[in-house]
Structure 1
Amino acid sequence: MKTVLTLVRHGRPELADRLLGRTDPGLTPLGWQQMQQSCQGLKVDAIITSPLTRCADFAQALGRERQLPVETESRFQELDFGDWDGLDFQTLWQSTDGAFELYWQAPWQETPPGGESTESLQRRVEQALLEHGTRHKGKNLLLVTHAGVMRLVLAWLLEGSRQGNAHLSRVTLGHAARITLSLYQDEQGQVWPQLVELYNPQEAP
């Protein structure tokens, strides 16, 4: 029996020019519109959301609109960028003595000062995916989450997470981008993930 999980990145938030990990701005009106468009027509039995405002506010509103259960899952929140969290990108490139550039190029080897490692992010995301996929077997789940989480899911699906830079510069996901995957559990309990769809809208400059 297959479980279908659709991960949707939050729409455009306030402070979009900054490194947003645990920093918690809400969505702009455009961000709400992007999410409504991305989720329109999706078959959904339950919603799971990151606790951060830019995800949870829309998830709760959609749950009320469709009369669906909404569960908050902290393991689907964005990477904690530590001392860099909330800083604008110009400051990060110019004022970190090259540390941010090193992290951007090799996120598996480098960790933000005072922050979370990419390995930790992947470990919690994989664990949460497998748990929810098993617990909601046969259902269609909507996961409202973040770009960092979705990049790691793509890396997990392609089994190439440690071979390159799937977390940052090699994968660009627009606001309200969407990944759909299926999880099939065989008779031995082995879970087989499969990529079904990637929808990746890009905003006009």
Structure 2
Amino acid sequence: MNGAVTLYLMRHGVPQPGGRLLGHLDAPPEAEGIALCVERARGLDFARVVTSDLSRAQAPGAIIAAERGVGHGVDARWRELHFGQWEGADPITLPADDLARFWDDPDGFPPPGGESWADLRARIGAGLDDLAGPALVVSHAGAMRAALAVLCGFDARQGWAVDLPYGAVLSLRVWPGAQGAERPSGQIIGLVT
């Protein structure tokens, strides 16, 4: 990134099925979820769209890019946290103590066979490093919270405190790292839920 730019992070719309720990599962988006994302993007100013490779993010991103006449890149680094053995589970069916330990310390107690919070932050940090210019990233709540950790220094608990319902748009002002030696930094400038 050259100079400060605006970055928009959008959570995909409602997937099929909703309310589950979908992680890397490729759950298709609901039509109304796609429509919400497309509508929310209409008031934003960006030069390109980047999406996770999962269809619940990729489908609305492709429509937004086509409507706007801008490039659309697909980047698997913008996927949700991998929930391992919890993939596809309804959280109420999981052992309450295990889930509580994960929410309290996602690095010390990642989902069984899943990804740690540090690994997600590293993956998202690398994705942020490769963005250039004002962009819209259509992604997932965990990935958006990891971007807040990388850009704004949020810890996991601070990230969980940010409400990101389906279709939420988080607007950030992002400054590049100093001569490539540091990661970019950011400031929240808006949240539409």
Could you state the TM-score of these two structures normalised by the residue count of structure 2?
A: 0.89
Q: In the alignment, residue 183 of structure 1 is paired with which amino acid? A: V
CA pair 88-68 structure 1, distance change in 2 beyond 3 A: same
Q: In the alignment, residue 165 of structure 1 is paired with which amino acid? A: R
Once the 2 structures are TM-superposed, how far is the Cα of residue 97 of structure 1 from its aligned partner? 6.3
Q: In the alignment, residue 176 of structure 1 is paired with which amino acid? A: G
Q: In the alignment, residue 100 of structure 2 is paired with which amino acid? A: E
Q: Is 1:141 matched with 2:135?
A: yes
CA pair 187-23 structure 1, distance change in 2 beyond 3 A: closer
Once the 2 structures are TM-superposed, how far is the Cα of residue 115 of structure 1 from its aligned partner? 0.7
Q: Is 1:172 matched with 2:148?
A: no
Match of 1:20 among 19, 22, 28: 22
Q: Is 1:127 matched with 2:126?
A: yes
Which deviations, in whole Å up to 9, do the C-alpha atoms of 1:20-74 show, x marking residues without a partner?
Answer: 1011112212212321222112112111100001000111122222221111111
**Over the residues paired in the alignment, what is the CA RMSD in angstroms?**
2.0
Once the 2 structures are TM-superposed, how far is the Cα of residue 197 of structure 1 from its aligned partner? 2.2
Q: In the alignment, residue 77 of structure 1 is paired with which amino acid? A: R
CA pair 53-186 structure 1, distance change in 2 beyond 3 A: closer
Match of 2:73 among 71, 74, 78: 71
Find the counterpart in structure 2 of residue 199 from structure 1: 191
Secondary structure of residue in 1 paired with 2:157? coil
Q: In the alignment, residue 157 of structure 2 is paired with which amino acid? A: N
Q: Is 1:82 matched with 2:84?
A: yes
CA pair 192-124 structure 1, distance change in 2 beyond 3 A: closer
Structure 2: any 5+ residue segments left out of the alignment?
A: none
Structure 1: any 5+ residue segments left out of the alignment?
A: none
Q: In the alignment, residue 138 of structure 2 is paired with which amino acid? A: V
Q: In the alignment, residue 121 of structure 1 is paired with which amino acid? A: L
CA contact (8 A) 2:38 2:63 kept: no
Find the counterpart in structure 1 of residue 4 from structure 2: 2
Match of 1:156 among 122, 144, 150: 150
Could you state the TM-score of these two structures normalised by the residue count of structure 1?
A: 0.84
CA contact (8 A) 2:23 2:83 kept: yes
In 2, Cα distance between equivalents of 1:187 and 1:83: 40
Find the counterpart in structure 2 of residue 114 from structure 1: 113
Which deviations, in whole Å up to 9, do the C-alpha atoms of 1:134-158 show, x marking residues without a partner?
Answer: xx2xx21111110001112223333
Match of 2:176 among 177, 185, 188: 185
Larger radius of gyration: 1
CA contact (8 A) 1:47 1:141 kept: yes
Which deviations, in whole Å up to 9, do the C-alpha atoms of 1:101-151 show, x marking residues without a partner?
Answer: 21122213211111111100001101210222xxx2xx2111111000111
Q: Is 1:105 matched with 2:104?
A: yes
Q: In the alignment, residue 178 of structure 1 is paired with which amino acid? A: V
Secondary structure of residue in 1 paired with 2:99? helix
